[in-house]
Structures are given as C-alpha cells and as structure tokens.
C-alpha cells in the first residue's frame, strides 16, 4: 500500500502521465495499470472486455495473487465458471475465488503461496500440453 500522492488531488491531475505515480521502491510507473478507488476498468488500459471474453472461452482459469476485492476479477471468475472452465485458486487465505473453486466439480483451492504452488502447477500444465 502506497500513500496517495498529493498531486492526485490537483485539478490538473492526469493519471496517465503524472510523475508522482511511480513505485517508491524501484521507480517504475504505477500507471496505467494501477487502479484507484472510484476508477473503473477500461478496455484500452486494462483490456477488461477482452479479459471477460477470454474468461467465457477459457478451459482453465488460474487465479493467483488477488483477494477478489474488485469487481472485474470476480466477473472473470464467474464467467469462466459459467462457461465450464476449471478454476484453480492459489492463495494461502480463503477468498471469494477459493469459495467458487470449492463449489465447482473442476475447481481446486491450492492453499499455498504463489512461490510454492506455481512451479508444480506449471510443470503439470506443460507436461499435459506436451502429451496432448
Ligand atoms: Zn517497484
């Protein structure tokens, strides 16, 4: 969590170009891929419509590193579930995606960190793709 830069509240604030919106650790731009409260996902900046369409066509949705606090990830997960995709939620903590995965026949909640869980999942997906 980073403090809100004062320039964000200025009338001339432009979230696409404001230099205050940089990571305090590495200096990388936080925008346009950081979303503030009262903002919404868009296709040009976040590929939101494309993500929703991809979810509707996915065979597998792998959810990693989100608590489900915003709408778009939840809509993506529900769309994938509705379309019959398998859903794997990697999260040490219970969240809406873990709950959804548990409710699905082809769902799994991997209660672990991404660093621990993803290498074996990736290895199995790669092996599966090679044998297909
Ligand atoms: Zn950084």
The CA-based angle 71-42-70, given to 5 degrees, is: 15
The pTM is what?
A: 0.72
31 CA from centroid of ligand 1 (Å): 12
Do residues 90 and 123 share a domain? Answer: yes
DSSP assignments along 38-103, one per residue: T----HHHH-HHHHHHHHHH-SEEEEES--S-SHHHHHHHHHHHHTT-EEEEE-SS--HHHHHHHH
119 or 22, greater pLDDT = 119
What is the reported pLDDT for 127? 96
CA 85 to CA 77: how far, in whole Å? 9
pLDDT at position 70, please? 83
Bridge partners of residue 87, in order along the sequence: 61, 107
Domain match, 30 and 54 both = no
Q: How many structural domains are present in the chain?
A: 2
Cβ distance 95 to 68 under 8 Å?
yes
35 and 83 in a single domain? The answer is no
Q: What percent of the chain is modeled with pLDDT above 70?
A: 90
Distance 44 CA to ligand 1 centre (A): 23
Q: Does one domain contain both 54 and 90? A: yes
- Do 86 and 26 belong to one domain? no
Domain that holds residue 28: 1-39
Rounded distance from Cα 102 to ligand 1 centre (Å): 34
The reply to whether 126 and 61 lie within a common domain is yes
Cα of 23 from ligand 1 centre, angstroms: 5
One domain for residues 57 and 85: yes
**Residue 24 has what pLDDT?**
76
Q: Measured between alpha carbons, how far is 12 from 40 in angstroms, rounded to an integer?
A: 19
Residues 15 and 62 in one domain: no
Average of pLDDT values for 86-111?
A: 95
Q: CATH number of the domain that 114 lies in?
A: 3.40.50.1220
| pLDDT for 28 | 81
> Taking a C-beta distance cutoff of 8 angstroms, is the pair 66, 97 a contact?
yes
pLDDT for the residue numbered 82: 95
Same domain, 65 and 108: yes
């Amino acid at each position: 969590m980073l403090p809100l830069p004062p320039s964000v509240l200025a009338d001339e604030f432009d979230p696409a170009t404001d230099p205050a919106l940089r990571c305090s650790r590495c200096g990388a731009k936080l925008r346009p891929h950081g979303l503030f409260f009262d903002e919404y996902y868009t296709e040009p900046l976040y590929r939101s419509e494309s993500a929703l369409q991809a979810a509707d066509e996915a065979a597998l949705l792998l959810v990693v590193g989100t608590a489900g606090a915003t709408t778009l990830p939840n809509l993506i997960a529900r769309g994938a579930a509705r379309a019959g995709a398998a859903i794997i939620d990697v999260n040490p903590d219970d969240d809406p995606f873990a709950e959804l995965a548990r409710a699905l026949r082809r769902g799994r909640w991997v209660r672990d960190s991404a660093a621990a869980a993803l290498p074996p999942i990736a290895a199995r997906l790669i092996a599966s793709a090679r044998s297909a």
